[in-house]
Amino acid sequence: MGCALTDQIAKAESQGPDRFLNRELSWLAFNQRVLALASDDGVPLLERAKYLAISAGNLDEFFQVRVAGLKAQLAAGITSASADGRSPSEQLHEIHLEAQRMTTLQDRLFRKHLAPALSAEGLQFVDWETLDRKDQKRLRAMYDAQIQPALTPLAVDPAHPFPWISNLSLNLGLQVRDPNSGAARFARVKVPPVLPRLIALPDGERWLPIEQLIRAHLGGLFPGMDVVSDHVFRVTRDAALLIDEGEADDLLSAIQSGLHRRLRVNDAVRLEIGGGAPPEVLELLIEELELDERDVYRHEGLIDLTSLWQLHACPRPDLKDPNWQPITQSALRNLGPGEGNRDVFSVIRDRDVMVHHPYDSFTTSTEAFVEQAAADPAVLAIKHTLYRTSDKDNRIVRALTQAAQNGKEVVALIELKARFDEESNIEWARNLEAAGVNVVYGIVGLKTHGKVVLVVRRERDGLTRYCHVGTGNYNLDTARLYEDVGILTASEAIGADVGELFNHMTGYSDPGELDQLLVAPASLRTRLMGLIDDEVAAKDGHITIKVNGLSDPALIDALYSASQAGVRVDLIVRGICCLRPGVPGLSENVRVRSVVGRFLEHSRIYRFGSRARGEHIFVGSADLMTRNLDARIEVLTPVLDERLCERINEILAVNLADDARAWELQPDGAWRETRTANSFDVHAHFQELARSR
The set of catalytic residues is 449
Which residues contact residue 196 at a Cβ distance below 8 angstroms, ignoring those fewer than 6 apart?
210, 310
**Are 560 and 633 a contacting pair, CB within 8 Å?**
no
Q: Rounded to 5 degrees, what angle do the CA atoms 560, 565, 571 make?
A: 45
**Are 167 and 241 a contacting pair, CB within 8 Å?**
no
First to last CA, the chain: 42
* Spacing of C-alpha 270 from chain mean position: 21
**Are 273 and 296 a contacting pair, CB within 8 Å?**
yes
**Are 68 and 88 a contacting pair, CB within 8 Å?**
no
**Are 382 and 474 a contacting pair, CB within 8 Å?**
no
Which residues contact residue 315 at a Cβ distance below 8 angstroms, ignoring those fewer than 6 apart?
none
SS3 state at 497: helix
* Cα–Cα distance for residue pair 290/298, rounded to 1 Å: 17
Helix (H) or strand (E) holding 348: helix 344-350
Q: Rounded to 5 degrees, what angle do the CA atoms 646, 650, 654 make?
A: 170
Please report the DSSP string for 84-141 in residue order.
Answer: TS--HHHHHHHHHHHHHHHHHHHHHIIIIIIHHHHHHTT-EE--GGGS-HHHHHHHHH
Task: Identify the bridge partners of residue 604 per DSSP, sorted by sequence position.
Answer: 620
CA distances for 177 relative to 183, 187, 232, 277, 685, angstroms: 6, 10, 19, 16, 63
SS3 state at 369: helix
Q: Which of 277, 278, 282, 274 minimizes the C-alpha distance to 302?
A: 274
**Are 511 and 631 a contacting pair, CB within 8 Å?**
no
Task: State the angle between helix axes of 422-434 and 251-264 in degrees (0 to 180), rounded to the nearest 10.
Answer: 150
SS3 state at 668: coil
**Are 5 and 71 a contacting pair, CB within 8 Å?**
no
**Are 658 and 331 a contacting pair, CB within 8 Å?**
no
Please report the DSSP string for 16-50 in residue order.
Answer: -GGGB--HHHHHHHHHHHHHHHHT-TTS-HHHHHH
DSSP state of 293: G
* Cα–Cα distance for residue pair 684/583, rounded to 1 Å: 33
Per the rule left: phi > 0, alpha: psi between -120 and 50, beta: everything else, 582 is: left
Q: How many residues does the chain have?
A: 693
CA distances for 72 relative to 78, 79, 165, 313, angstroms: 9, 11, 19, 38
**Are 466 and 345 a contacting pair, CB within 8 Å?**
yes
Please report the DSSP string for 228-246 in residue order.
Answer: EEEEEEEEEE-------TT
CA distances for 559 relative to 20, 532, 536, 604, 669, angstroms: 12, 7, 10, 17, 17
Task: Identify the bridge partners of residue 467 per DSSP, sorted by sequence position.
Answer: 454, 489
- Phi first, then psi: give them for residue 617, nearest 5 degrees: -120, 135
